[in-house]
A and B are shown apart, each in its own frame.
Chain A
Amino acid sequence: MSDVAISSTVTRKRAASGRSKTLGTTGIVVAIVVAIVAGWQLAVTLGWVNGRLFGSPEGIYRAAVLGLSPQGTLVPDTLATLFETLMGLVVGSGLGIGLGLLLWFVPRVSGVAEGLSVILNSIPKIALGPLIVIWFGSDMASKVWLAGISTFAVAMISACAAAREVDQDLLNLFRSFKAKPGMIFSKLIVPGALPWIFSTLRVNIGFALIGSVVGEYIASQAGVGHEVFVAGSLFDLNTVWLGIIVLTLMASILSWIVQLTEAKVITWKRKR
Chain B
Amino acid sequence: MSSPNFYSPHRAEVSAPAAKPSERLRVCELSHAFQAADGDSVPIFDRLDFSVGSGEIVSIVGRSGAGKSTLFNLISGLLTPQSGRVEVGRRADGGEGRIAYMLQKDLLLPWRTVLENAVLGIELYRKVRREDIERARQMLARYGLDSFADAHPHALSGGMRQRVALTRTLLVDPTLVLLDEPFSALDYETRLTLEDDVMELRKQNGTSVILVTHDIEEAIAMSDRVILLGGRPACIEDNIDVRLSTSGPRTAVSAREAPEFRAYHSRIWNGLRGHSIQHAGASA
Which positions in A face B, CB cutoff 8 Å? 3-4, 104-105, 107-108, 164, 167, 169-179, 181, 183-184, 187-188, 191, 194, 266-270
Contact = CB atoms under 8 A, between A and B. Distances in A.
A107 B101 contact: no
Nearest to B77: A176
A105 B124 contact: no
Contacts of A104: 4
Interface string B84-124: 00000000000000011101010101111000000011011
A176 B76 contact: yes
Interface stretch (B19-27, B148-156, B217-225): B148-156
B125 interface: yes
Main secondary structure of the interface of B (DSSP, over half): loop
Nearest to A173: B107
Contact of A184 (B4, B76, B77, B105): B4
Given A169-B103, A176-B100, A268 B124 contact: no
Contacts of A176: 76-78, 99-101
Interface of B: 1, 3-5, 7, 76-78, 99-101, 103, 105, 107, 109-112, 120-121, 123-125, 152-157, 172
A122 B261 CA distance: 66
A93 B109 CA distance: 26
A178 B124 contact: yes
Nearest to B151: A4
B67 to A, nearest CB: 18
Contact of B156 (A4, A107, A170, A191): A4
A170 B107 contact: yes
Given A107-B4, A177-B124, A194-B111, 6 more contacts: A169-B107, A174-B124, A176-B78, A179-B124, A187-B123, A187-B124
B154 A105 contact: no
A6 to B, nearest CB: 11
Contacts of A175: 7, 78
Main secondary structure of the interface of A (DSSP, over half): helix
A38 B65 CA distance: 70
19 contacts: A3-B157, A4-B157, A107-B3, A107-B5, A108-B3, A169-B103, A171-B4, A173-B101, A176-B77, A176-B78, A176-B100, A177-B172, A178-B124, A184-B4, A187-B109, A194-B111, A266-B111, A267-B152, A268-B112
Contacts of B3: 107-108
A213 to B, nearest CB: 36
A181 B4 contact: yes
B168 to A, nearest CB: 9
Contact of A191 (B111, B120, B152, B154): B111
A188 B109 contact: yes
Contacts of B7: 175, 181
A172 B72 CA distance: 12
Contacts of B4: 104-105, 107, 171, 181, 184
A93 to B, nearest CB: 21
Nearest to B165: A173
Given A169-B105, A175-B78, A4 B1 contact: no
A40 to B, nearest CB: 48
A187 B112 CA distance: 10
A248 B105 CA distance: 45
Contacts of A167: 107
B238 to A, nearest CB: 29
Contact of B125 (A171, A178, A194): A178
A270 B154 CA distance: 6
Contacts of B100: 176-177
Nearest to A3: B157
A52 to B, nearest CB: 57
Contact of A4 (B112, B120, B121, B155): B155
B1 A268 contact: no
Contacts of A191: 109, 111
A203 B104 CA distance: 36
Contacts of B105: 169
A107 B2 CA distance: 9
A177 B124 CA distance: 6
B157 A181 contact: no
B111 A268 contact: yes
Contacts of B76: 176
Contact of A172 (B78, B121, B172): B78
